[in-house]
Structure 1
């Protein structure tokens, strides 16, 4: 019994010495860090260690954020009308309905004094809305000459003619070179048609005797808001 108790005492003492030796190895007398699990915790588990990577690398940042919609440059189709007023004017002209024969009242008057070589046609908008008058009047003076009177390209206006309610447009028409000519024929009325409209407008010629027309000399200008010196002289 005494021998067994003595052996147990020796084994307990040996275990105590072994535990003290292991503790000394882990803490290290020279201050070095051991390889214990608590000393090898991942750096990423620390908020301070992970913070520097948030603003670096290839991830999205303020500097690399996708750009917003590009500003209009004025070179495209929507940029061609850069100014608001210009854009509004072009859109208004494009959306304004074309004038028809039922929208206008067309009359003729002599220009200047004798010899009467020119007429001025006036097309007045008689409706309560605006309409767009394009091209030139398609005129036929004589039943024997079915061709339309040729138009003078130089008289074409730079912009569409938009007639507000009650507004007029004009076209200068050449009848002849003047004087007494056997090729001149008397005309008391003639027909006018508009671009895109097959309706015939009957126009009464001015004067009690009508006008003298030389079919080989007739010319017409384009519809314009006003007669212009130079462009409408022919």
Structure 2
């Protein structure tokens, strides 16, 4: 009888211990839960991503935020502007550019006594509009199969531009003064071709200025100058 009472007392004590453990939150069900649960009074340790305060660049807890925005820079147009389109069309100001050629000019070819073996080509603007003479004249005597080269040292700083009634000039070395030229012959016809705004492009119809009745002698030394605005630029060439 005493043994039964002892066992009953022992069971009652075990039950009391179990209830006490559950009420304190340290029972077997909480084993391994080392992190306490956050309460409503505990401030958040992390600021929500992208949260800022107004426009001052600060987080919700007042910490400055480093800006990741890169200012947009303006890149100028890399393409160079030109005074005229290379097709000989209109300029950026709406003004048209006209090329000098055989339709709007009069062209003469005059052999010179000095310098020896030289000839002067004169182009006069006979139209009512300004025209331009890019590069140099392309000459052809009779049925000549080669093109005389230009003296690069005579290239002007700007394209020759002729107002109505104005003239442009080019010099021609016909033959070597010391007789060193080869393939010499006498020509009775001269064709003067005009270039466009790109080298070796067509600037329009050619001109055929008259030559002296006796013709003009030329050889392999034949070369020309660039078009010039003033005659003085090639006076001593």
* TM-score, normalization by structure 1: 0.54
Matches within 5 A, 1:1-234: 95-113=96-114, 116-143=116-143, 145-178=144-177, 183-195=183-195, 196-197=202-203, 199-206=205-212, 208-214=213-219, 216-229=220-233, 234=237
1:134-167, CA deviations, whole angstroms, 9 ceiling, x for partnerless residues? 1111101131x32121111111111121111011
How far apart in 1 are the matches of 2:178 and 2:186?
13
| Deviation of the 1:104 alpha carbon | 1.1
* Structure 2 residue runs without a partner (length 5+): 1-53, 57-75, 83-90, 196-201
Cα deviations by residue, 1:32-87 (Å, 9 ceiling, x for unpaired): xxxxxxxxxxxxxxxxxxxxxxxxx979xxxxxxxxxxxxxxx989xx99xxxxxx
Cα distance change, pair 191–233 in 1 and its aligned pair in 2 (3 A)? same
Native 8 Å contact 1:221 1:232 kept in 2: no
Structure 2: how far apart are the matches of 1:141 and 1:190?
A: 5
Alpha-carbon distance in structure 1 between the residues aligned to 2:206 and 2:163 = 23
Given the superposition, is the C-alpha separation of residues 98 and 136 from structure 1 closer, same or farther in structure 2, using an over 3 Å criterion?
A: same
**Contact between 1:155 and 1:232, CA under 8 Å: does it hold in 2?**
no
Residue 233 of structure 1 and its aligned partner are, at CA, apart by 5.1
- State the shift of 1:188 in Å: 2.4
More helix by percentage: 1
CA distance in 2, matches of 1:146, 1:98: 26
For residues 151 and 233 of structure 1, the distance between their equivalents in structure 2, rounded to whole angstroms, comes to 16
Unpaired runs of 5+ residues, structure 1, are: 1-56, 60-74, 82-89
Displacement of 1:227: 3.1
Taking a change above 3 Å as real, the CA distance of residues 133 and 100 of structure 1, as seen in their structure-2 partners, is same
How many residues were matched structurally?
154
Q: Aligned partners of 2:102, 2:161: CA distance in 1, in Å?
A: 15
Pairwise CA distance, 1:171: 0.3
1:119 positional shift: 0.5
Once the two structures are TM-superposed, the CA of residue 177 in structure 1 deviates from its matched residue by: 1.5
TM-score, with structure 2 as normaliser: 0.53
Q: Distance in 2 between matches of 1:122 and 1:141?
A: 17
Q: 2:101 touches 2:207 (CA, 8 Å); kept in 1?
A: no
Distance 1:219 1:141 in 2: 12
